[in-house]
Chains A and B, each alone.
Chain A
Amino acid sequence: MKELLVSALGMGWGVLAVLAGLLVYHFTKGNRDGAFKVFIGMLATLMIFMAIANYKNNFFAESRLLPVSLVLITATTFMMALYFSNVSALLKIGGFMFLVAAALSGYGNWLPQVEGGFPPKEEKLQFDSMTSQQLADEGEKIIFGGIGQSSVQGAIGKGQCPLCHGFQKGFLSERAPNLFGLPERAEKERLTDPNYHKGEPQKRAYADKEACPGCGTATTVQEYIAESHACPNCYVAAGFGVKGTNDKESPMPKIHKPPISLSLPELAAVDTWLYVREGKEPPSYEDIIKSYEKFILEADRPKQQDDKAAGPTQLLADGTEPVDQIFAKAQCVVCHTIPGIPGATGTQGPKLEEGTNAPNRIHDSAYKGTAKTTPDYIMESIVSPSSYVVKGFPDNLMPKIFGQKLSAGALKKIVDYLSQVKAGAPPPKIS
């Protein structure tokens, strides 16, 4: 308050001095009425300058005192309106407007304040000219959505790898091998595995024998990683195949194909991170690219896109697709068997016959969720999978990110479809 007064005087002393002069003049003339008006004028001036000082101090500041200025001005104008009758209407209207604006400003300041952060730095990603550390950072972004996110459970980037793979020692990784220590393991275990048939792809017993006709098998660690990305069915780590295929088929999609479609430079970044984070010297950018060129025909290589919407806000499905594609894009099919959805034969999670299951689960004594209807139950299970864990299946296996990664429309389609699936009945139509 005192500071405000001081800074107001600092700004307005000139005007106040003139008015004081006027006051003295009126006194000497014996004009009491005039003197009184000037006195009111001085008071008003002081208040106005206080308002201005307050405005100035708080313009960019966090404090929410700006509307105080407006209230001060309102008080001033109403006070003036009392004594200066010829412009009274004008002053009152003006004052009233200040009051309205002060109320609205105050309301705006009372609400929770969110400031939109600065935009992500724009850089045309030139993967080929990066140091391996920069490249590894880009890789981490692609896998986890941000630098330093690799140790966060549930972090996920456009590569969507952590949906199935664990990356840290001890992280849950039941759907696919934990990739901790991969470079070492590739060399010591995978390439030497008799089932891998290094150099003799025809002898392989897997669904695909080669990534492309005549591509051959990997001979180095980097080529092994490249082959695994380009042709998941060429070699399936024991125990991680699609259930019922006797580990002949892998649930993993080809990473360079839609929906994930990583370009070769992006794959190079991902691979570089796999080495760098274990303190290993990564192969050069060119070598990594070459290893992929061995397994991916030129026509199949996706062009590097401008990753405009990449990052955590990117949706897996926006709800405009038919429901079977939503299931595929969100990778539900990898873990769940869903009647009526082609390819949905996963067994990591329960079979989704929610038209039958949901009512039973809601009435299960172990059920702690809040859903009362089948659609609510399904929604709850997607958005917070741990609310109820079906017996015989582990908790925390299902990612908790689908609430953010699917649009409302996509969620609705999923809920609509699943609530119609009943055990023993023909599956509903795909819409």
Chain B
Amino acid sequence: MGRQNGKKIWSIMALGAMMAILLLPVATSLNALASGGGEAPPAPAVKAEGDKKDEAKVEKGRDVYYKTEGIVAGAPAPKTTDGTKDYPRYNFESRVLLWFANQQHLYYGSFVLAVPIFCMIIEFMGVVTKDKAMAKKYDQLAYDFIKISLTAYSLTAILGGILIFTFLTLYPAFFGYLSSIFRPVMHIYALMFVAESGTLYIYYYGWDKMKEGLLKWIHLSMSVILNVIGTVLMMLANSWIGFMMSPAGVDEQGRFLGNIWHVIHTALWNPLNVHRILGNMAFGGGVVAAYAAYRFLSAKTDEERAHYDWMGYIAMALAVAFLIPLPFAGYWLMREVYAYRQQMGITLMGGLLAWLFIIQATMIGILFLSTNYYLWQALGRMRGAEKYQRYIKYLVFVLVVGFLVFITPHTMVMTPAELKAMGGQQHPVLGNYGVMSAKNGGINVIITTTVLSFVWYMRGNKEPMVPWKKFGNIFMGTFFGLAYVNIIWLAIYGYYIPANVRVGLSVPQVATTLSCLFFMTALNGVMLKGAKQMGPIEWGKISARSQYAIIMLATAFTWMMGLMGYIRSSVRLFWHVNEIMRDNSPWAYTHTVGFAANMISFNVLFFWVSILFVFWLGTLGAKKAPVEAKAHAPGRVPEPAHGH
């Protein structure tokens, strides 16, 4: 026991030391922030000399956002002119090249940041699960996840290099300005990146060595550290785009005022962080699910099929779990945008970019439809779920009606001339009074139906045994039925009451949906306690079509991410840095919706073709060791860490 304790203390100390080293950059940067923010400190002697000379003209500037005064510590934002000096170019639109480089880096980066979070969750589940076989299964799954992300990790780094190279080549003045503003934290960024790589490799290669007892816990804590570093990295990267959209910490001419925290902590930084973390997770889940779908479809044996069916299910569940809070984070971001600049919000929701939000609404609908479709197909792998099959057609009907209502724009499609005259597809001011209540009804019907599908899926192969099951079933039916009634009633009611009351109706509508989500899944859980199993879930006995639903989900999610990123970026219109540095390149206009859609498609397909290629390479490696592949089949409890 004493020996055990000694080991424990050593491990904890080692872990502490590791953490301290890894967090050192943050600590040092905080220090620098406290002392008024790392103006590159010149040697004291030189500074003193400088002071003497400049004492008379220490220039002060006022922060454009925080309104504090600070000593000017940087050059003003360069005024660019159209020409090859500020905007060197190939015989192609520079902006599109940068768009491409940025988007690819972002896709891979998101994936690489998201997967360790899943690993953490799944590894933790494996550690706490009492069922030994299940624990092994989870552990293997987490290992599989990190294996996928490791290949993508190096690709992310390469793409990051390409991004910087593209940026530097095509927009030297802009890049120069941004990097001069962020100079005080650049070294932290680099150090964090090194720390991330180090931790990731230790985490991956240490998996085998650290699989028992306390060492496993340390391994698990390492995944926490890995994620902390990853998140800080992402937040630093976000500070760049936050600064570009809602600059702070500089004066009106864009001169740095010495406080780097202001530059980082801009108006939109935190909403962006939260939105991106959630988005990354949903995206990462989608990619892993697609990987599982690929392996499922190309599987040769039943064991393989079973394993990848299960993997896809878990990844998909994680993706959807993070998809649900995403709109709320989006709402917060949007509200902050409106608070920061009303005009920016109007451009987004009611002006130039409004059609893109119509596309987004469609995408949300598609995501939910595919989720439902997957759940229905998943009923097929359970014995006893047949009783629900015949009701599915009604759900389809409800979903389709809800979807159609949801995507109907509340203004007519107009000719470009009419559009121009109106300055957007909606009246710039009255558009806000458009009847949203019907649309809200549509989307809430869709989500409620998804909840219903999920409840059916949960009880697919089970028969409740509680004495009050009859009442439970009737109550559940009544609750769902009246929830639909309430949602639709509120949607119709909205037409009869004035706009200022109507806007409030969406809240009880959402509350109705959430009531279904929480109460009904909880009630279902209680009812299924000690339920009779009609048969085990037969993993792998799912139709191939279900896997296409997963792929649809993953593709649609990737597309939506590209779309929202485009919207976020293009809302700056003709500014490099909003209201500080103008875009004077020949590409300062906003593209048409169609061009954007084509570009997004191209980016999405490039990402998927490249990552499918990576997956395929992975299977080539596995084929060389068919014996091992067999040993990996679930049920046989695989030994981890042979495949690399």
* Contact between A and B in the complex (any CB pair below 8 Å): yes
Task: Report which A residues bind B (CB closer than 8 A).
Answer: 59-60, 64, 66-67, 70, 87-90, 92-94, 96-98, 100-102, 104-105, 107-109, 111-119, 122, 306, 308-309, 313, 315, 318, 373, 375-376, 383, 403-404, 406-408, 411-412, 416
Q: Confirm or deny: B293 has a beta carbon within 8 angstroms of a beta carbon on chain A.
A: yes
The residue that A101 contacts in the complex, of B432, B596, B605, with Cβ under 8 A, is: B605
- Please indicate the chain A residues that have their CB under 8 angstroms from the CB of B589 in the complex: 115-119
Shortest 9 CB-CB distances between A and B: which pairs?
A108-B597, A116-B590, A119-B574, A89-B298, A109-B594, A89-B297, A101-B601, A113-B592, A408-B432
* 30 A–B contacts from the bound complex (CB under 8 Å): A70-B601, A90-B294, A90-B612, A93-B293, A93-B294, A93-B612, A97-B551, A97-B555, A102-B601, A104-B363, A104-B597, A108-B596, A109-B593, A111-B593, A112-B416, A113-B416, A114-B424, A115-B592, A116-B352, A116-B589, A118-B588, A119-B573, A119-B574, A315-B342, A375-B500, A376-B498, A407-B429, A408-B429, A408-B430, A411-B429
Q: Is B413 in the interface zone, CB < 8 Å from A? A: yes
Say whether B343 faces chain A, with CB atoms less than 8 Å apart: yes
Residues 257-295 of chain B: 1 if any A CB is under 8 Å from the residue's CB, otherwise 0?
Answer: 000000000000000000000000000000000100110
Closest chain B CB from A371 CB (angstroms): 11
Given known contacts A97-B608, A111-B594, A376-B498, is B582 in contact with A92 (CB within 8 Å)? no
- Say yes or no: A92 contacts B297, CB within 8 Å: yes
Instruction: Evaluate contact between A114 and B597: CB separation under 8 angstroms.
Output: no
B583 on interface, CB distance cutoff 8 Å: yes
Assess the B598–A66 pair: CB atoms within 8 A. yes
Which residues of B sit under 8 angstroms from A60, Cβ to Cβ?
A: 93, 595
In the complex, what residues of A have CB within 8 A of residue B419's CB?
A: 112, 114
The CA-CA distance from A313 to B347 in the complex, in Å, is 11
**Contact check: which of A109, A308, A375, A383 meets B430 at CB < 8 Å?**
A383
Chain B contributes a number of interface residues (CB within 8 A of A) equal to 65
Q: Inside 8 A of B605's CB, which chain A residues have their CB?
A: 70, 97-98, 101
- Whether B144 sits at the interface, judged by CB under 8 Å, is no
Q: Known contacts A67-B598, A109-B597; can you find 4 more A-B pairs with CB under 8 A?
A: A90-B616, A97-B604, A108-B593, A116-B573
A111 to B429, CA, bound (A): 22
Task: Find out whether the CB atom of A118 lies under 8 angstroms from the CB atom of B294.
Answer: no
Q: Which of A105, A109, A375, A411 has the most CB of B within 10 A?
A: A105
Contact A113 B342 (CB under 8 A): no
Q: Specify the chain B residue showing the minimal Cβ separation from A408.
A: B432
- Asked whether A94 lies within 8 Å of B609 as measured between CB atoms, the reply is yes
**Residues on the B chain within 8 Å of A67, using CB:** 598, 601
Q: Which of B538-597 contact A (CB under 8 A)?
A: 548, 551-552, 555-556, 559, 570, 573-574, 579, 582-584, 588-597
* Cα-based distance from A117 to B420 in the complex (angstroms): 10
| Cβ-defined contact, B429 with A406, below 8 A | yes
Please name the residue on chain B nearest to A91 by beta carbon: B612
Given contacts A115-B589, A119-B588, contact A308 B579 (CB under 8 A): yes
State whether A375 and B342 are in contact (beta carbons under 8 Å apart), knowing that A108-B359, A119-B573, A407-B429 are contacts in the complex. no
CB of B415 closer than 8 Å to a CB of A = yes
With A109-B594, A309-B343, A376-B498 already in contact, the answer to whether A114 and B609 are too (CB < 8 A) is no
- A104 and B559 within 8 A (CB): yes
Please report the C-alpha to C-alpha distance between residue A383 and residue B431 in the assembled complex, in whole angstroms: 13
A142 to B574, CA, bound (A): 22
B500 near A100 (CB under 8 angstroms)?
A: no
Min CB distance B339 to A, Å, is 11
Residue B340 at the chain A interface, CB threshold 8 Å = no
Indicate whether A107 sits within 8 Å of B427 (C-beta atoms), given known contacts A119-B583, A375-B498: no
The answer for the CA separation of A313 and B433 in the assembled complex, in Å, is 19
For the complex, give the distance between the alpha carbons of A14 and B441 in Å.
57
Q: Which residues of B contact A313 (CB under 8 A)?
A: 343, 423
Are A93 and B297 in touch, CB under 8 angstroms? yes
Asked whether B555 lies within 8 Å of A112 as measured between CB atoms, the reply is: no
Q: Is the CB–CB distance between B593 and A105 below 8 Å?
A: no
B604 CB to closest chain A CB, in angstroms? 6
**B432 contacts A90, C-beta separation under 8 Å:** no
Confirm or deny: B414 has a beta carbon within 8 angstroms of a beta carbon on chain A: yes
**Residue of B at shortest CB range from A119?**
B574
Indicate whether B477 reaches chain A with its CB closer than 8 angstroms: no
Residue on B nearest A100 in the bound complex, by CB:
B555
Q: Nearest chain-B residue to A122 (Cβ)? A: B582
Closest chain B residue to A66, Cβ basis: B598
Q: How far is the CB of B550 from chain A (nearest CB, A)?
A: 10
Q: How far is the CA of A38 from the CA of B221 in the complex (A)?
A: 54
- Distance of A112 Cα from B413 Cα, bound (Å): 7
Are B590 and A115 in contact, with the CB atoms below 8 A? yes
Q: B residues within 8 A CB of A376?
A: 498
Say whether B512 faces chain A, with CB atoms less than 8 Å apart. Answer: no
A315 to B429, CA, bound (A): 10
| Residues from chain B with Cβ under 8 Å of A412 in the complex | 499-500
Residue of A nearest to B299 (CB): A89
Q: Which residue of B lies closest to A320 (CB)?
A: B342
Contact A407 B601 (CB under 8 A): no
